[in-house]
Amino acid sequence: MRFTPALFEHAEDALSAILTFEYPADAVLSHYFRNHREMGHADRGFVAEACFSTLRRLRSLSARCPDDQSRKLLLAAMFCLRGWNLKQMAPVLNDHDAEWLAAAKAMPTEDWPMAVRCDLPDWLFERLSARYPGEIEVLAAALNRPAPLDLRVNSLKATREDVLKRLRADGIAADPCIYSPLGIRLEEKPALSRHPLFLDGSIEVQDEGSQLLGYLVAPKRGEMVVDFCAGAGGKTLLLGAMMRSSGRLYAFDVAEKRLANLKPRLARSGLSNVHPVRIESENDIKVKRLAGKLDRVLVDAPCSGLGTLRRNPDLKWRQSPESIAELTAKQAAILTAAARLVKSGGRLVYATCSLLTEENEDVVTAFLAAHPDFSLLNAHEILSRQGIDLGDETALRLLPHVHGSDGFFAMAMERK
């Protein structure tokens, strides 16, 4: 990749479109790249990384910049955060840029409010500080770093040891994940879409934290299971493999497009027990027909996604207290509807990739108060029986600065 004014202009245009916060940043970038097919792989990588590193540190960068122009935010990110020097940046600098950039880099940050230093909006900083007192700075630092690339081995097709051997033989640095028995973490982010292990369904890209949700559901062979908010099906595929492709596994989602994205992954996986079903809402007749028949139900509820800021840094600027309130109402309705499917003695798992109490404990506490026929299970005991040690909490709680995964929350319940 050769750094040119034209390449920088692409980054500036893409960032300007993202900063309207009308659409998710990754969707804006995909749209931009579709409209500029002349850009090569390295050029697209530069633009994406420039935009995402700016989004991660947007608040502190804004404090350094004379104004919030996309151009100046990008220059400040390159010079103050990413270690570029003025000689490298010379093709895109104007007469006075060197002067204000030097002042921006020398700015004393110790006088900034903590929320600015943590690159969080005030409302989110307040909530996370209250929930994780004494940890907010290390938590924010972890959320502001790019996420590693994690893989999950498809146990129907390969063992983790065999996959690790093959990746290393191909020059891809890889290590077993600490917690997930099927997880592999890569040192870098190679393109895997044409790798034989990906093409034959032996591996899938999936964060280690997301993998652990499957072990909390812990489905058995021959059971009837529902992934209630399946999305593109990462957890569905794990559940199917844990069931050894037996029994019946429904993948429910309201979005046809997300379920369509599951189909090629399903074809590669070798699973024959998965049944994708589009539903209109949590109260769809297709859902009601299964009332009281399911052994396990996973509700990975629509949420703020604030545990995934390493991957989706725009979410902290796009979410608000109002959007959180709307989400918690939706989460409560979905959990109530999904619970009707669980048979006596069956398991219900509620999960989010949020760090907020309102979306997590509060939703489960309210549900249990209204549904005395459900009782809480101990997540630590469920996971430790499968050789996974995450401490002794009743809930599964994953934090990027502690576990190195995305932020996840989950609680398991049983119908009495």
Q: Which residues are catalytic?
A: 353
User: If you compute the radius of gyration of the chain from its CA atoms, what whole number of angstroms results?
Assistant: 23
Residue 359's contacts (CB-CB under 8 Å, 6 or more residues apart) are 301, 303, 304, 324, 327, 328, 331, 352, 409
The Cα–Cα gap between 90 and 101 comes to 12
Would you say 252 and 229 are in contact if contact means Cβ atoms under 8 Å apart?
Answer: yes
Report CA torsion sign: 128, 131, 137, 140: negative
Tally of residues, the chain:
416
Could you tell me if 250 and 227 are in contact, meaning their C-beta atoms sit under 8 angstroms apart?
Answer: yes
Contact 183, 208 (CB under 8 A): yes
CB proximity list for 172: less than 8 A, separation 6 or greater: 186, 188, 190
Q: How far apart are CA 398 and CA 388, in angstroms?
A: 13
* Nearest of 212, 239, 232 to residue 155 by alpha carbon: 239
Q: What secondary structure letter does DSSP report for 269?
A: H
- What is the C-alpha to C-alpha distance for residues 303 and 271, in angstroms, rounded to an integer? 28
Report how far residue 7's alpha carbon sits from residue 49's, in angstroms, rounded to the nearest whole number. 13
| CA pair distance 24, 44, nearest whole angstrom | 17
Q: How many CB atoms lie within 10 A of CB 199?
A: 12
User: Phi and psi of 278, rounded to 5°?
Assistant: -85, 130
Give whole-number Cα distances, 94 to 75, 89, 99, 102, in Å: 11, 10, 10, 14
DSSP at 276: E
List of residues 6+ apart from 311 with CB closer than 8 A: 146, 147, 406
